[in-house]
Amino acid sequence: MKIDKNFMTTYAKVATHDGESEAIQIWAKDNDAYTGIGTDKLGIWGTVVGVDFDLCVADGACIDACPVDVFEWIDTPDHPASDKKAIMMREGDCIVCRACEEVCPVDAVLITDPGDVVDSAAPAAEEAPAEESGEESVQEEVMPAVQSEISSAAMSLNHAPKPTKWLDKMNDVLSKEELPSTGIEKAKSMFKDLRKETLDSLSRGNEYVALVDEEKCIGCTQCVYFCNFASIDMISHHLDARTIEFESKKALIMDDTCTGCTLCVFACPVEAITMENRN
């Protein structure tokens, strides 16, 4: 089972939750499909960044993969799938790289380009008092029933998890390395605004793959640090003109794991990486 890709047209808006800068929309099929935090029915949270809280198992891969820190944890006690979920507190910061969607082991995440967001769901009839849960507050809205109850089969949490071989390998490798504190963490905030401004000018997504111009590559490894998918290796090049050890290596992008997110393109200081159609 995976998140319903048509939830914005087949589900209704049942509640909102406070985000960092804007309200987070909560969706469900009918009144009985959402009963709030502290219960076993949470529905789908978010719009551009949609997460099915009833499927989320709190793996944390989406939080680790997001280059602009959209997610953080929210406690969801008594939910059968997990007692915390990845909430899109900074949904407006999403750059639509789809890294979180790619790494979710239970297909609970769906990223929708803001230009493709539709608003045809059945509106709520009236606003209900806000629900308090610790420091968190959820504003629930009463709505008319729009569809029949979700069947027990549809609500089943039985699923065939996506393979996580590459993710496990990456985490194992990185756990043994001491990465520079002045690298990716500082650069993320600087790259966020730049990526927002220029994202639409780049081809991106699974139909595209990043390619390295070996003549331009200086072997700095910035693309390796920025890649969330362990898709980039440094391979040796025996060049007589190179005198510094790391400059004798070039970046090689493995097309079978590249998701076309464009992070490496922005990380490269010498514009040696471009996005090309896989076909």
Domain ranges across the chain: 7-161, 167-277
DSSP 122: P
The CATH class given to the 167-277 domain equals alpha beta
Q: Where are the alpha helices (DSSP H) in the chain?
A: 7-10, 61-65, 99-103, 165-174, 184-198, 222-226, 263-267
**What percent of the chain lies above the pLDDT cut of 90?**
34
Residues 31-57: tens digit of each pLDDT: 889 999 999 999 999 999 999 999 999
Strands (E), 101-248: 109-111, 126-133, 136-142, 208-212, 232-236
pLDDT mean over 118-133: 50
Tokens, residue 63: 């939080």
| 167-277 shares the fold of 7-161 | yes
pTM: predicted TM-score of the whole model, two decimal places: 0.57
| 169: three-class secondary structure by DSSP | helix
Q: What is the pLDDT of residue 67?
A: 74
As beta bridge partners, residue 235 has: 250
**What percent of the chain lies above the pLDDT cut of 70?**
66
CB 259, CB 102: distance < 8 Å: yes
Residues 221-243: tens digit of each pLDDT: 888 888 877 889 888 765 544 44
Tokens, residue 159: 């699923």
Tokens, residue 149: 């109850």
What distance lies between CA 65 and its chain's CA centroid?
A: 7
Position with higher pLDDT, 166 vs 137:
166
7-161: CATH topology: Alpha-Beta Plaits (3.30.70)
